[in-house]
Amino acid sequence: MRFRNAEREPWRPRVLQLLAALATIAATVIAAPPAAWLADLVRAKSQLRLVDPQGTLWQGSALLAVSDGRRALLVPGRITWRASLGGSGFPGTTVELRHPAALAPVRVHLTWGKVEVEAGRAAAPAAVLSALGAPFNTVRPGGALHVEWSSLRLERSAAHGEARLEWRDAQSALSPVAPLGDFLVVVKLRGAAGDVSLSTLRGPLHMEGSGSLREGRLAFAGQAFAEEPMRAALLGLIGVLGKRSGDRARLQLGT
């Protein structure tokens, strides 16, 4: 019978320790993936950014920002999330989001190939529109945004629901006239397509138009003009909003 010399195999305890450590790390990552993973996913899929993510994929927090691809504009306050399997009779994963801008917790239900967002309301400074690029980054908007939405259902190639966005006490760094007015954007999603409308609720500046959403692309056309006696004071701003024709500007967006 031959006996192995333990001194010739000093690597065994070390290998076992290394394997145990790797197993512990793997179990930790699977059970509690870092919040940075979520930040990377959000960055890849949208213009939103999660800055300084902390915690895990299941429970964490981050600063929320909107990016135009070159810079990110922070939304005041920290967003927190908590995910749980099932909940309220829902078979998938439920995520509860909290942020100072949201007037109540926002609950999102996830299943394979489908996302459902419960109805809710939120508010934010209009300055966040600057992160969307032209013409907002030139206009440098002020005022407040108020948004409310019905229950939304998003599937692989379809979306259903309605959202209303009000820009209240609108202002611009390019105009001495303030406020410019209140404006309303309504988005209606109906399967593979959607409708977008813009209207003026009040104020010396009028903006109106309509458009459509097809396969994630927006086609919008409208016009902007001013009431007397503010017309002369607003012609410069109107010229920034779109191509001028007389005292009006053509509003056109396409992605």
Per-residue pLDDT of the chain in tens (255 residues, 90 and over written 9): 454 554 555 544 544 454 544 444 444 444 456 778 888 888 887 888 889 999 988 889 999 888 877 778 888 889 999 988 865 555 678 899 999 989 899 999 888 878 899 999 999 999 988 887 778 888 999 999 999 999 999 887 788 999 999 999 999 999 999 999 999 999 999 888 899 999 999 999 999 999 998 877 888 999 999 988 899 999 999 999 999 988 999 998 875
pLDDT of residue 30: 47
Examine the domain organization and report whether 134 and 253 are in the same domain: yes
Q: Which two tokens stand for residue 212?
A: 């459509």
pLDDT of residue 10: 55
Q: Computed from CA positions of residues 16, 20, 23, 29, in that sequence, does the dihedral angle turn out positive or negative?
A: negative
pLDDT of residue 9: 54
Examine the domain organization and report whether 71 and 126 are in the same domain: no
Examine the domain organization and report whether 218 and 134 are in the same domain: yes
Examine the domain organization and report whether 145 and 169 are in the same domain: yes
Q: What's the CA gap between 78 and 100, in Å, rounded?
A: 7
pLDDT of residue 3: 47
Q: Which distant-in-sequence residues (6+ apart) come within 8 Å of 247 by Cβ?
A: 225, 226, 231, 235, 238
What is the span of the domain harbouring residue 203? Answer: 119-255
pLDDT of residue 72: 81
Give a yes or no: residue 97 inside a domain. yes
- DSSP letter at 126 equals G
Examine the domain organization and report whether 47 and 126 are in the same domain: no
Give a yes or no: residue 86 inside a domain. yes
Examine the domain organization and report whether 183 and 211 are in the same domain: yes
Give a yes or no: residue 227 inside a domain. yes
pTM of the predicted structure, to 2 decimals: 0.79
Q: Computed from CA positions of residues 180, 181, 187, 188, in that sequence, does the dihedral angle turn out positive or negative?
A: negative
Examine the domain organization and report whether 184 and 162 are in the same domain: yes
